[in-house]
Amino acid sequence: MKKYNVFVHIVSNCVIVALLFGLYLACVPSPDTPAYAPIYKGDGNSGKVALMFNVYQGSEYVEGIMEVMEKYDATCTFFVGGCWAEKNMTLLKSMSEKYEIGNHGYLHLDHAAISEQSNREEIGLCGTLIEKVTGKTPTLFAPPSGSIGNAMTKVCAELGYKIIMWSKDTIDWRDKDYELVYKRATSDIQSGDLVLMHPTAHTLKALPTILDYYAANGLSTATVSEILTEEGSY
């Protein structure tokens, strides 16, 4: 009887281990499974940085930013809000002809606080509008205020969006000081950095000196999509 009990105990343990191992394998994504975790930095071996402009206002500075970019043979990604895009379709079309356009939601809501359906509407409406105006389907989503939630992540996976955050934040929406913008965009800058900005007067003023600094330090600019790789982004 004692040997029988030992045998039963061993078999039971083996069954438990097998079940746990099966659960583990079920939870591990296969190499073909796309990753929808937020991305904070691009390819560190690219020799490039990506400037990202979140646009809900500042239309009067967007053209100036594009002019500076063209003068420096530089590029960037504009993440546009849907309600802004609806009022600035001609400008958005012009932006899309030379620069990458990303989705920034429709009404600048807190995507961690709203429901899955509201996330779907916010992201979907903005994406549809961008595609209608530019003829290009956006694949990048920048959460307003960097607010991330499970419902948002699920919707982005469903709609095929990569979630883009940042590694450098100029905080130019708050601190209206072009020297601070310059400092935050250049301090300890590294290849693969994603630099967050907004179309403001002081950001536009700082932009040429920022691009000069990058060039002097062997860095060029890229769009967000160009700087991302499956291996080098996180």
86 found inside a domain: yes
Angle at 43 between CA 53 and CA 181, to 5 degrees: 35
39 found inside a domain: no
Confidence class for position 233, pLDDT limits 50, 70, 90: low
- Give the pLDDT confidence of 70-87 residue by residue, as tens digits: 999 999 999 999 999 999
Name the domain count of the chain.
Answer: 1
Confidence class for position 229, pLDDT limits 50, 70, 90: confident
- Give the pLDDT confidence of 186-212 residue by residue, as tens digits: 999 999 999 999 999 999 999 999 999
Q: What pLDDT is recorded for position 109?
A: 95
207 found inside a domain: yes
Copy the structure tokens of residue 204.
């536009």
Q: Which of 70, 143, 158 lies closest to 113, judged by CA?
A: 143
pLDDT at 21 over 50: no
8 found inside a domain: no
- Give the pLDDT confidence of 56-72 residue by residue, as tens digits: 999 999 999 999 999 99
32 found inside a domain: no
29 found inside a domain: no
- Give the pLDDT confidence of 99-148 residue by residue, as tens digits: 999 999 999 999 999 999 999 999 999 999 999 999 999 999 999 999 99
9 found inside a domain: no
pLDDT at 96 over 90: yes
Which helix H or strand E contains 54, and what residues bound it? strand 48-55
Name the 3-class secondary structure at 101.
Answer: strand
Confidence class for position 88, pLDDT limits 50, 70, 90: very high
* Mean per-residue pLDDT, 18-36: 41
Q: Which residues form the domain of 113? A: 48-227
- Report the residue count for the chain: 234
pLDDT over 70 percentage in the chain: 83
d(C-alpha 8, C-alpha 227), whole Å: 57
- For residues 114 and 151, the answer to whether their CB atoms sit within 8 Å is yes
80 found inside a domain: yes
3-state helix, strand, coil in the chain (%, to 5): 50, 15, 40
Q: What is the 3-state secondary structure (H, E, C) of 134-195?
A: HCCCCCEECCHHHCCCHHHHHHHHHHCCEEECCCEECCCCCCCCHHHHHHHHHCCCCCCCEE
Q: What is the CATH number of the domain that holds 87?
A: 3.20.20.370
Q: What pLDDT is recorded for position 103?
A: 98
d(C-alpha 126, C-alpha 107), whole Å: 9
* Mean per-residue pLDDT, 26-43: 63
Average pLDDT of the chain to the nearest whole number: 88
